[in-house]
Amino acid sequence: MARDQGPDALVRESLNNFTQSLRELVRDSSGLSEDERVMLGQEVERLGNSIDSLIKIVTEYNALAIGGVASEPFNPLGLVDLSSALAAVEHVAIRVFLSPITQRLEQEVSDARAAHARKARALVSKTLDRDILDYVKPLWEKHPTWKAGRLAAEFAESFNKDRISPLTDNAIEKRVRKLMRMRTTGQSSA
């Protein structure tokens, strides 16, 4: 029976594809240091070699089992190859899933999420400032001597009227005070 025919051909192809994808993963891993890449590369190579050896053993066994002739001599180290393959899988898994690599990558993901949340909060804050500015600007022009508390009290009820999440009077006053400081220093809120 030819090597690429028979019921085990799909399994052999799958194993070869698996080891190839692991090799590509290590090559393309931009989040790893050079030392980490070398260590994982060595383990993946060890795994690949063991799988190649196991594929040969299974192929030869299948040839003998159907009454054929083995193309290569019997390999008495088959169990050693199996053990080596399993150890390599374990080492790759430990280095990838329980290692500083994973912790660093998780920290980077956490930092990215936090940065995204900060941007979202900043956008909401800027939108609130613009909305409040729309209410307070006409009052500034009409009553330039009024303090932030008085300005905020004047429009807080109408500002919160249609809001899903109304702001407290103190929160509005705080934002008006901030906008007043920005106005006196010439900064833009938008």
> What pLDDT, on the 0 to 100 scale, is given for residue 98?
59
Please tell me the predicted confidence (pLDDT) of residue 3: 47
Annotated domain spans of the chain: 9-98, 114-185
pLDDT recorded at residue 8: 63
| Amino acid 134: pLDDT | 92
Q: What gap in Å lies between CA 100 and CA 41, rounded to an integer?
A: 17
φ, ψ at 78 (rounded to 5°): -60, -45
**pLDDT, average across residues 89-97:** 67
Task: Determine which of 112-121, 137-146, 181-190 has the lowest per-residue pLDDT on average.
Answer: 181-190
How many whole angstroms separate alpha carbon 43 and alpha carbon 83?
A: 13
Residue 2 pLDDT class (50, 70, 90 cuts): very low
Its pTM stands at: 0.44
Q: Among 49-53, 100-104, 106-110, 160-164, whose mean pLDDT is lowest?
A: 100-104
Q: Report pLDDT digits (tens) over 147-156.
A: 999 999 988 8
Q: How confident is the model at residue 176 (pLDDT cuts 50, 70, 90)?
A: very high
**Is the Cβ–Cβ distance between 173 and 152 less than 8 Å?**
yes
Among residues 152, 157, 158, the alpha carbon closest in space to that of 140 is found at 152
- Of 159, 170, 157, nearest to 127 (Cα)? 159
Which of 76-80, 133-137, 174-178, 184-188 is predicted with the least confidence, judged by mean pLDDT?
76-80
Of 70, 87, 50, which is closest to residue 3 (Cα–Cα)? 70
Residue type, 81: D
Question: Exposed, middle or buried, 121 (CB in 10 Å: 0-12/13-18/19+)?
Answer: exposed
Q: pLDDT tens for residues 56-91? A: 777 776 666 666 666 666 656 666 666 677 777 776
pLDDT score of 40: 79
Q: How many CB atoms lie within 10 A of CB 175?
A: 21
Cβ atoms of 19 and 92 closer than 8 Å? no
